[in-house]
Amino acid sequence: MRKPCCDKRDTNKGAWSKQEDQKLIDYIQKHGEGSWRTLPQAAGLLRCGKSCRLRWINYLRPDLKRGNFAEDEEDLIIKLHALLGNRWSLIAGRLPGRTDNEVKNYWNSHLRRKLLKMGIDPNNHRLNQNLPRSQTPDASGSTSSSSMKTNMTLADKSSRSAGDHPEVFDAENVSGDIPRDLPDLNLDLTISVPSSSLTKVEEEEQNPYASKVATKVARDIENAESPTLLLFA
DNA sequence: AACGCAGCCAACCGCACCAGT
DNA sequence: AACTGGTGCGGTTGGCTGCGT
């Protein structure tokens, strides 16, 4: 039995105060990130290390992009979710300035509903004949979101939350499942490792978060058992 | 004005992963 | 190989806010 990450009796919980935020920012600016377990004490915070890490990553990081998601960001999230499932950190890694928590929340509060409204099962990105499909133009694929089109799903064998996604993806089955009179759901799921003229070191210096996750995405995709990626033209 | 409800989002929790020993 | 500590991730919760009645 491992001991808890901190002594919960002595730690604050709940919303962060401005003073706490400032202490955390000051400390990280001086000493850099890492050593989250010892950081709270060193920074004079009565917080659990995990809590500090979360606060920094999700809220205080200087490279965070706050505010509404753009259309292309929405599209990308939908595509990546079809590809990766609920692996929010990987998805967020493709969206500069966005955090896994933010993407997860946005998915659950907006995009899930949007797909459902379009008659698409948000769990597997397949047209769901049991769900009512709205007759509005939005539901025909010509939504405000330009490329909200899908006819695919993907087995994500390595996912820890594989329950959301079918273990085996059968392309033949898909083509058979989708009625011919449905809108063209051609979804380009091409995914590539971010290319950069910067060296890996330079890239990591400029954006350690994006770089780190991008590396993981690339590794995951490389390691994926064939045929994990099934792209449908 | 008061209340109930739904949606959003920050934060917490528990588990898994990984590197070091 | 087994163990341990630190870190990361995804699911869930709870409080706040806005809206309708």
Half-sphere exposure in the Cβ direction for A150 (13 Å, CA): 30
Between the CA of residue A155 and those of A126, A163, A174, what are the distances in Å? Answer: 13, 10, 13
φ, ψ for residue A163 (rounded to 5)? Answer: -55, -30
Please, are residues A39 and A27 in contact by the beta-carbon 8 Å criterion?
yes
**Spatial distance from the CA of A66 to the C1' of C8 (Å):** 22
User: What domains does chain A contain, in order, with CATH numbers?
Assistant: 8-60 (1.10.10.60), 66-233 (1.10.10.60)
Q: What is the pLDDT of residue A140?
A: 36
Q: Is the dihedral of CA A226, A115, A233, A70 positive or negative?
A: negative
Residue A162 CB closer than 7 angstroms to strand B?
no
Q: What is the 3-state secondary structure (H, E, C) of A90-121?
A: HHHHCCCCCCHHHHHHHHHHHHHHHHHHCCEE
Q: Which residues numbered 63-102 in chain A sit less than 7 A from strand C, measured from CB?
A: 86-90, 100-101
Q: What is the pLDDT of residue A138?
A: 37
Q: What is the pLDDT of residue A38?
A: 86
pLDDT tens, N- to C-terminus, chain A (233 residues): 344 555 555 678 888 988 898 989 988 888 888 788 888 888 888 888 889 988 998 888 888 887 888 888 888 898 888 888 888 888 888 888 899 899 988 988 888 888 887 888 887 787 766 554 444 333 333 333 333 333 333 333 333 333 334 333 333 333 333 333 333 334 444 444 444 344 444 444 444 444 444 444 444 544 443 333 333 32
Q: What is the pLDDT of residue A66?
A: 79
Residue A112 CB closer than 7 angstroms to strand B?
no
Strand boundaries in A49-190, DSSP class E? 120-121, 126-127
Q: Which residue is nearest to nucleotide B17 (CA to C1')?
A: A160
Contacts of A181 (CB under 8 A, 6+ apart): none
